[in-house]
Amino acid sequence: MAQTVALMVAEKPSLALSLAKILSGGAGLSSRKGSNGACSVHEWSGRFRGENVHFKMTSVCGHVMTCDFPPKYNNWDKVDPVELFLAETLKKEATEKLHMPQFLAKEGRGADYLILWLDCDKEGENICFEVIDCIKPVMRKRTGQTIFRAKFSAITDRDIKDAMTKLVAPNKDESLSVDARQELDLRVGCAFTRFQTKFFQVYLFHSHF
């Protein structure tokens, strides 16, 4: 029978190490460099939900994905800024050189549980679902809840161990509110920048003649 695996994901590498030290108590903790070269994976054995479990703690480096327009909207001369308010958008890797989706999928393959230790704010909730999108498809299929969210306010033994006993479900509504804000920022920011640039190009041209 395959060993039960619980993968934990924090928001940055330094936090992942701190959490691993607290949750493992330092006993049997081993660390290795992740395949993307930016994140480490810390491993130990313990108990979770009445089972003997192999824990793996790793991290992301902030947002995994970002919101952008398809390439066809990149030509400032051919695309009217007004079009950007109705243009389609897409999600792409926030930092392509980190290969974060591939890294998360590799570490999450065959995991039984996913425990998310992202920052306890709306941005953190949004990153939770970016991580879930990368890992859930490759997790082992089990009945019951398999994805959990840790809520904590300080990196202390007491707070972290207490959070581990009070895991909740990730909040999809908070995540969607961040998606909406990111899309709004993209549309307004790009449209205004392009309009302003074109305006001054015309203004400066006529001011010289």
Task: Give the DSSP H or E segment for 151.
Answer: none
Task: Report which DSSP code applies to 119.
Answer: -
With b for 16 or more beta-carbon neighbours within 10 A and e for fewer, the 27-64 pattern comes to eebeeeebebebbbbbbbebebeeeebbbbbbbbebbb
Nearest 5°: phi and psi at 142?
-135, 160
Residue type, 10: A
Residue 197 has what pLDDT? Answer: 75
Alpha helices in 98-171 (DSSP H): 100-108, 122-135, 157-165
Q: Residue 123 is encoded by which pair of tokens?
A: 């941005």
Angle (CA) 132 63 29, round 5°: 65
Ordered per-residue pLDDT tens for the chain, 209 residues: 579 999 999 999 999 999 999 999 988 999 999 999 999 999 999 999 999 999 999 999 999 999 999 999 888 778 888 888 999 999 999 999 999 999 999 999 999 999 999 999 999 999 999 999 999 999 999 999 999 999 999 999 999 999 999 999 999 999 999 999 999 999 998 888 887 777 666 655 556 55
Residue 47 has what pLDDT? Answer: 96
